[in-house]
Structure 1
C-alpha cells in the first residue's frame, strides 16, 4: 500500500512516501518557516523524486494535532483535500502519539511534550507495545505542574520527548528527580515515516466530519466566549 504521510502540526515539517514496509522517501526540516508556502511544494518534490504519481497513492495519513493552531489546520486541510480529490482513505494520528512513537523501544512510560504557553503543555502518556506505542493517559492540555504531580505516582521511569522538553527540563527534574529520563535530541523531531507506519494499520476517518484535534479553544474563541458570559 502506497501511503503519503504529512505532519505540519508544529515547527517541524515532515513528509514521507512509503510502500508496504519500504520508506521510498522522507523529507524533514525543523526551521521557522511558514508551512502554508512549503508543505505542498515539499509533497510535490518528494513524490517526483520517488517517482510516485498522485493516482498511485492508496492512503493519506496526517498528524491531526494538538500543536500550532495554524500548523495543524494546514496539514489537515491538505490531507482532506488530497484524500477527497483522489478518493482514497484518510487516517488521522495524534501528533503526540507520533512523537512518542520515536521511543517505541523504551521500557517504561513515554511522555511527549508540546509547550502551550503560560505554564501549560499538550501532553499524554504512552507505553511501548511491540512496534507501536499505546495511550496510557489520554492527550490533554494541562498545567505542567499538575501533570508532574500525577506522574510522581507512576511506578516506572518516564521518558520525556519532543523539541519543547528543553523549555521545561528544570521543573521536570525538580519534581520527578531520577524518575525522569530525557530522550536524545535526535529523537525529538516527528518523522512522517513513523506516521505512515501507524496509519497503515489504523482505521480511516469519515472525511466529511474529520477535524483537527486542538485540545483547547484558540485564544480568540476563548476571549469571545468569556465576553458572552459577561
Structure 2
C-alpha cells in the first residue's frame, strides 16, 4: 500500500491531499489573500490523516510542490515536508508547481499554459501538451504581444492567477482563458507523485531546495 501525502504551498493556496496507490482519498485547502500557510499547514495534515483513519507512521512518502512560486510559501512547505520525511524516515518527492497547475485542465486539443503571478507584467510559466508533458521549460516571462508568436495557429489554454493580467496583450482567438483555475492544488499531485514513487524518483531530504527561479527581494516601506 502506497499512502502518500502531498503538500502544495507555492501560491496563496495552502493545499494538502492524501492518496492511496495513486487514487485521491481526500484533500484540504484554503486560499486567502494573506498567506496563512504557517498556521494552517500542519493542522490540515493532522486533520486529513485523522479523518481518514491514518497516522503519520502509515505514510510511505511525502510529495511537495517544488516551485516556482511564492518564496515564503515554498519555504514553509518544503521545510515542513523535509522535517516530516526526516523524522519518519520516508522518501521525499518533488513535483513542478506549474505541472500541478496544468493538471487541473483536461483538454482535447491545443496546449496548456499555466501562469503564476509574479511582479507587474511578469509571470512564471511553461507550456505543456494535453498529456501534461513539458514542451517548453519553466521561465520568468515578461508578457508582451508576441510572447507566444511561435505557437501561432495553435489553441493555447491559459490558467492560473497570472493569466488574467495577460488578456489585453494576448487577445487573439488562439488564447482561451480558464478563469476558474487560479491556483495549483495538492489533489493534482496524486498521479505524478505515485508515478515517481513507483520508480523511486526521490530527492535528497538533506540537500533539497525549492526552485525559486528568482532571488528573493524583500519589500521595504517608504519613509
Contact 2:8 2:186 (8 Å CA) reproduced: yes
Structure 1 residues 105 and 52: alpha-carbon distance in aligned structure 2, compared to 1, 3 A threshold: farther
What is the match of residue 179 of structure 1?
Answer: 174
The structure 1 segments of at least 4 consecutive aligned residues displaced by more than 6 Å after TM superposition are none
SS of 1:3 mapped into structure 2:
strand
113-122 or 55-64, larger mean C-alpha shift: 113-122
Where does structure 2 lack aligned partners over 5 or more consecutive residues?
219-223
Contact 1:110 1:158 (8 Å CA) reproduced: yes
TM-score of the pair, normalised by structure 1? 0.87
| Number of residues of Structure 1 aligned to a counterpart in Structure 2 | 211
Higher helix fraction: Structure 1 or Structure 2? 1
Structure 1 residues 210 and 68: alpha-carbon distance in aligned structure 2, compared to 1, 3 A threshold: same
What is the match of residue 226 of structure 1?
Answer: none
Q: 1:184 offset after TM fit, Å?
A: 4.5
Specify which of 143, 148, 151 is matched with residue 151 of structure 1: 148
Per-residue displacement from partner, 1:167-212 (whole Å, max 9, x unpaired)? 3322221xxx000011241x33322121121111121112222110
Q: Which whole-Å CA distance do the structure 2 matches of 1:142 and 1:15 have between them?
A: 28
User: RMSD over aligned Cα, in angstroms?
Assistant: 1.5
SS of 1:71 mapped into structure 2:
helix
Per-residue displacement from partner, 1:59-94 (whole Å, max 9, x unpaired)? 100111111110011111111111111111111111
Q: Which whole-Å CA distance do the structure 2 matches of 1:206 and 1:79 have between them?
A: 12
What is the match of residue 221 of structure 2?
Answer: none
Where does structure 1 lack aligned partners over 5 or more consecutive residues?
221-230
SS of 2:193 mapped into structure 1:
helix
SS of 1:171 mapped into structure 2:
coil
